[in-house]
Amino acid sequence: PAALHAEVPMEGVAPPFDPFQTVGRVVRAYGVDWVVVTLAAGETRDPLGLWEGADATDVDGRRPDFLPEVPAFEAPGVRVYRVQPES
């Protein structure tokens, strides 16, 4: 979030390095609308494992139900997902 804030004046939340269920609770608690996932040069997986959106799986075998399958925006090294409404 700090790196993005320098580019766009929007607030951000740093997600915890926890299973997706916990990340989802943070997303809901802070009213997050967008999740920005970036890859470092030469990497194929981001630190939280959210690059694949709803198709990702965490260490517990769960999927991030707060993300859609397809990003709203994608460019080399970045994907932006709109958070799914809570069901």
pLDDT tens for 6-22 read 677 677 888 899 999 99
Dihedral of alpha carbons 26, 9, 34, 77, sign: negative
Nearest to 46 by CA among 34, 58, 63: 58
- Answer whether residue 43 shows pLDDT above 70: yes
Q: Does the pLDDT value for residue 65 go beyond 90?
A: yes
Q: What is the mean pLDDT of residues 25-46?
A: 92
**What tens digit of pLDDT does each residue of 23-32 get?**
999 999 999 9
pTM, full prediction: 0.87
